[in-house]
Amino acid sequence: MIKIGKKEIMSNIIMAPMSGCTDLAFRTMVRKHGAELCFFEMVDAASLIMKNKKTFQMLKTNSKDKPIAAQIIGSDPLQMLDAAHILLDTVPDILFLDINSACPVRKILRKKSGAYLMKSPETLIKIAKTLSYTGKLKLPVTVKIRIGYYKNDLPFLTDLVKRLEDTGISAIFIHGRTCKQMYSGEVDYASIKKVKDTVSIPVFGSGNIFSPELAKKMISETGCDGITVARGALGTPWIFRDIESYLKTRELIIHKDIMSKKRNTMKEHIRYIEKFKGCLPGGEGNIGLMKKVMMWYIKGFPDAKSLRNKICRIEKYDELMDLIE
């Protein structure tokens, strides 16, 4: 069990927010395979205030989709506070709210949001103070950061996390790469460990958690309180149960006939998309999303290259299901 503010979660292995991925269908799949706490997709503060329909669709949930956390992105402290209230009015039972200062995508950086805040620390501190220190939200606030913007600067990083802790935030999520690295290069475990050693609030490490062994390495080398799994769950939702088992027994779960398992899970995932997304008759309304999901699951198939070519040419739901069969 681990506490984030006054909220308790039983597992320290969390499903991270991923734009265009962690919708209700995705969260349903990973929960069935061992994930306890999941995030909505990252939501933009300005889009919430403008009542953007697509943004509110990203907050679709149900009674089984719990516990759930949210992550918000923006650069204006007061705007983010207003957006946070809208978010809470929409989904009142959010466990905690995370401030994203880690997204390295160019269109986000152009808005001076996401990982841009790593080179604008005063803005990040103001946002954290506005959302957390004032206590106006009545729920825990956390922050997602990277180890730096251009490079790893430990004095800067340790000063930043100390100041963030002083704002009253309840946890820090940290990706072990710089903004410029995006998702390439080695994960800097030493920097995550330094953050863990600097603050007294929980620290969750992320980056390259594609297997139970890498999850164990993250925890062992950093001493972090927990981990967040992101790309490692794409096409392998059972990674959560695999990690939990490995951390307890040091033995890997052997999946017999993994190709059949992937194929059957892929079909189930696509059925959930059809169920939750309000598809047009036959599923054509979300055929693009379904094709993307298929690409995740066929990784490792002997005929993956041929399957990718076939998936790219699919235009109808029936064609898609025929290929799965």
Going from the N-terminus, what domains does the chain have, and what CATH number goes with each? 2-249 (3.20.20.70), 258-324 (no CATH)
CA distance 47 to 60: 16
- From start to end of the chain, where are the E strands? 2-4, 7-9, 13-15, 38-39, 43-44, 68-73, 97-100, 141-148, 171-178, 203-206, 226-229
Task: Residue 320: count other Cβ atoms within 10 Å of its Cβ.
Answer: 22
What are the C-alpha distances in Å from 237 to residues 84, 136, 245, 252, 275?
A: 29, 36, 14, 15, 19
Catalytic position from the list 103, 179, 279, 312: 103
- pLDDT per residue, tens digit, the chain (325 aa), is 899 998 999 999 999 999 999 999 999 999 999 999 999 999 999 999 999 999 999 999 999 999 999 999 999 999 999 999 999 999 999 999 999 999 999 999 999 999 999 999 999 999 999 998 666 788 999 999 999 999 989 999 999 999 999 999 999 999 999 999 999 999 999 999 999 999 999 999 999 999 999 999 999 999 999 999 999 999 999 999 999 999 999 999 999 889 999 999 999 999 999 888 755 555 556 888 999 999 999 998 888 888 899 889 888 888 887 887 7
Q: What are phi and psi of 226, to 5 degrees?
A: -170, 180
What is the rounded distance in angstroms from the CA atom of residue 213 to the CA atom of residue 225? Answer: 17
Structure tokens at 135: 């206590």
pTM reported for the whole predicted model: 0.94
3-class SS of residue 57: helix
> Is 103 annotated in the active site?
yes
